Structure 1
Amino acid sequence: MSSRTDLLAWVNELLQINYTKVEQCGSGGAYCQIMDSIYGDVPMNRVKMSAKHEYEYLANFKVLQNVFKAKRIDKPIPVEKLVKCKMQDNLEFLQWIKKFWEANYGGQGYDAVARRKGAALEPPATVAPVPTSRSTPGVAGGNRAGGRTPLGGFRSGSALSNEHVQQLQAQVAELNGQLEGLEKERDFYFEKLREIEILVQEQIESTEESGKEESVVFGKIQKILYSTEDGFEVPEQGVPVDEEETF
């Protein structure tokens, strides 16, 4: 398999672009033009090589899917993974597409810039940004004098508002799910530590009552349980604190 450095050098030379990361292929534009270098009939006028938004990424992959279907290429395209611009997912797909190119490219000359009709090309972002009120398309300078985005959503007239709201809602739902899992894990380990603490305390009190010498092991365990770090101090005595928050 080709390394990331080799793949980037190959893509940049073939397509006359200046990608610096494999993740930038997640915009879909490079994949489309690689296929165009093989067949010469990809509708490049529909490919946004400087895509900045996820809806543009998805549009590029729609073009790529149509090419695969028309050429009867039996290879699933993991669009949902690729558009997230993760290095490993795009590295694996780029390795496959390079092998496909090597097996099918006829050696004919390919003018990548001409196929893009000389359009200005900027490397795509590795994460598709979600527009905010400061970067609303069509507003000079990013802000409209006296205008603010309503709390309920985006300005009326934005063709992308519903899609962006759905993206944000999905992100919130995912984060809430992760938070719930972390809280359950925290409670699970807290209960275990609490049981150990009670057991150690009972053993120490038992040795004190019987007049026996305190167990060195239990003393060390208790010291570990009560040790602190900077920024995570045990509250002062007499100050009521929720045990869950203290943990």
Structure 2
Amino acid sequence: MGESRTELIAWVNELLQLNYTKVEQCGTGAAYCQIMDSIYGDVPMQRVKMNAKHEYEFIANYKVLQNVFKAKKIEKPILVDRLVKCKMQDNLEFLQWIKKFWDANFGGQPYDPVARRRGAPTDTPATIAPIGGGARHVSGAGLHAGGARPGGRTPVGGPRAGSAQSNEQIQALRSQLAEMSSHLEGLEKERDFYFSKLRDIEILVQAQVEENEKKGIEDHTLAEIQKILYSTEEGFEVPDGQPLDEEETF
């Protein structure tokens, strides 16, 4: 059995001078990167986003971590697709492993975590809640406000409970809207991040195909890659006789 969640979070906060409150917050990957930096001192911390809030930022942090593992010949698999979901069990298991690795490899040298991350902001990560959770809460409040009030009528001149409840609901809805807008912005950035990668792949493949055509070479692998890149989902086919916009390859 490894350390408990409370012990692990206390260790992370003490080592890195953070203020995490739960294991799930390690799912951003930032803390894992800096724990490795405390051992080796050469992790490119300028590339680690300590206050990452969106999944595409988490993935970028894990890319740094994967490069460290590769450079140091550490064979432990990093289950990025699970860790970025900020689930407790997955991150607890990985944090327990990384603590054991730290115990076995940390040389006891002085380590200044704030200086290593060059004062980068370290807002405590918030685990992502499902969209709509706030709506259910507001709905429940609305039902309570609209129901019968025990204790009779409000005295003349007393506070208007209905008005106070309405204001609370408005504030809750505004908070939910702001959260959803932030979530949508993150999804749009994530979409653009992956689209850019696909576009780069397309350009490289097309250039190689053209070069092969000049030399009379057939490459079935490249043909299969192009087939995947240009495939469409049912319902998204280009209508007959209508050319595809050249700038909208995907």
Matched residue type, 2:77: P
Residues 44 and 162 of structure 1: CA distance in aligned 2, closer, same or farther (over 3 Å): closer
Q: How many residues align?
A: 147
1:47-97 deviations in whole A, cap 9, x for unaligned?
001100000000000000000000000100011110010000000000000
The Cα of 1:119 is off from its aligned counterpart by 1.8
Q: Please show how residues 154-233 of structure 1 align to structure 2 within 5 Å.
A: 160-162=190-192
Amino acid in the other structure paired with 1:27: T
User: 1:74 — aligned with what?
Assistant: 75
Amino acid of the structure 2 residue aligned with 1:33: Q
Cα deviation per residue 1:157-191 (whole Å; 9 max; x = unaligned)? x65445699xxxxxxxxxxxxxxxxxxxxxxxxxx
Which of 181, 191, 194 is matched with 1:134 structurally?
181
Task: Indicate the residue corresponding to 1:111 in structure 2.
Answer: 112
The 1:6–1:48 alpha-carbon spacing in structure 2 relative to 1, beyond 3 Å, is: same
Q: Give unpaired runs (5+ residues) of structure 1.
A: 138-153, 166-247
Are the aligned partners of 1:37 and 1:110 in contact in 2 as well (CA < 8 Å)? yes
* Cα gap change, 1:67 to 1:126, in 2 (>3 Å): same
Show the counterpart of 1:83: 84
Letter in 1 for 2:54: H
The answer for the alignment partner of 1:102 in structure 2 is 103
Contact 1:54 1:128 in 2 (8 A): no
> Identity, % of aligned pairs?
71
The answer to whether the 8 Å contact 2:55/2:190 transfers is: no
Q: TM-score, normalised by structure 1?
A: 0.55
Q: Greater relative contact order (Cα 8 A, min sep 6): structure 1 or 2? A: 2
If you compute each CA radius of gyration, which structure gives the higher value, 1 or 2? 1
Distance 1:60 1:128 in 2: 21
Q: Which amino acid aligns with 1:134?
A: S
CA–CA distance in 2 between the matches of 1:2 and 1:132? 34
Structure 1's 99 and 129: CA in aligned 2 closer, same or farther, altered over 3 A?
A: same
Conserved 8 A contact 1:53-1:128: no
Deviation of the 1:111 alpha carbon: 0.2
Once the two structures are TM-superposed, the CA of residue 134 in structure 1 deviates from its matched residue by 3.0
Cα separation, partners in 2 of 1:114 and 1:128, compared to 1, 3 Å: farther
Q: Name the CA shift for 1:129/1:123 in 2 (closer, same or farther; >3 Å).
A: farther
